[in-house]
Structure 1
Amino acid sequence: SMAEEGEKKAVLETVQADGADEGCVTFVMHDEDHTLGNSLRYMIMKGVDVDFCGYTITHPSESKINFRIQTRGGIPATEPLRRGLNELTDVCQHVLNTFQVDLSIFITSQLQDINVSLGS
């Protein structure tokens, strides 16, 4: 069971000074690297309510990133983060769907070629 394996660490933590503006937050993402950091930063920077978005890899031996978002207009930093993750999920799903469709078309054409060459 989970209890025996010890407590599972959170995938996402926030780092914020006491009484700090919730429009300025550093999110700590565990078991992530440039793959998520770079693409998520790209998505979030498109938001008109975002002043700054960047990330750092804490240390090469650690698989975690510090992801900082600063917003304007009193928008909490969690909003562009949620939006960015949703948009990234949609893009990945679209790429996956397109790939699967193209793959099945390719396999079908290969099978037809094999059938033709076998004279069936």
Structure 2
Amino acid sequence: MEHGSAEDDSASTFSFTDEDHTLANTLRFSLNQDPRVTFCGYSIPHPSQPRVNIRVQTTGDPANEILKDSCQDLLMICQHARKTFEQVVQDFKNKQALEAMNMEQ
């Protein structure tokens, strides 16, 4: 990841290699939910290159800190989704096993 100049920390462009719309659009959405963000958008410079540029402009806080916060938020959301999914799968398996035992009786 690279980012823009250090002159104004409240606006930076971050370049992610080996990424595409999946991460970029998710980060864009998450960043735009943050009240400290005044603008966030992304671009893919060329379709044959696995690179995305994410532009973040803030109300004054350092853009890199807000990007880190957004990444942390996304990590927590993914962990919650995974935990919820695993619980639903386990509940389904338990229900199937209970129904199988009831059918045997």
Could you tell me which runs of 5 or more consecutive residues in structure 2 were left unpaired when the two chains were aligned: none
Alpha-carbon distance in structure 2 between the residues aligned to 1:107 and 1:61: 43
Q: CA RMSD in A?
A: 1.6
Alpha-carbon distance in structure 1 between the residues aligned to 2:26 and 2:95: 34
Structure 1 position 59 matched with structure 2 position 56: no
Aligned partner of 1:37 in structure 2 is 24
Could you tell me which runs of 5 or more consecutive residues in structure 1 were left unpaired when the two chains were aligned: 1-11
Q: Please give the per-residue CA displacement for 1:73-112, whole angstroms capped at 9, x wherever unaligned.
A: 3x11112101110111111111110000000000111122
Alpha-carbon distance in structure 2 between the residues aligned to 1:114 and 1:62: 52
Segment of structure 1 superposing worse, 92-101 or 40-49: 40-49
1:11-30 paired onto structure 2 within 5 Å = 12-14=1-3, 16-17=4-5, 20-30=7-17
Alpha-carbon distance in structure 2 between the residues aligned to 1:62 and 1:104: 41
Aligned length: 105
Equivalent position amino acid for 1:89 in 2 = L
Alpha-carbon distance in structure 1 between the residues aligned to 2:70 and 2:92: 33
Once the two structures are TM-superposed, the CA of residue 49 in structure 1 deviates from its matched residue by 1.7
Equivalent position amino acid for 1:13 in 2 = E
1:77-92 paired onto structure 2 within 5 Å = 77-92=63-78
Once the two structures are TM-superposed, the CA of residue 115 in structure 1 deviates from its matched residue by 3.0
2:79 to 93, 96, 99: 93
Give TM-score, length-normalised by structure 1: 0.79
Taking only the aligned residue pairs, the percentage that are identical comes to 37
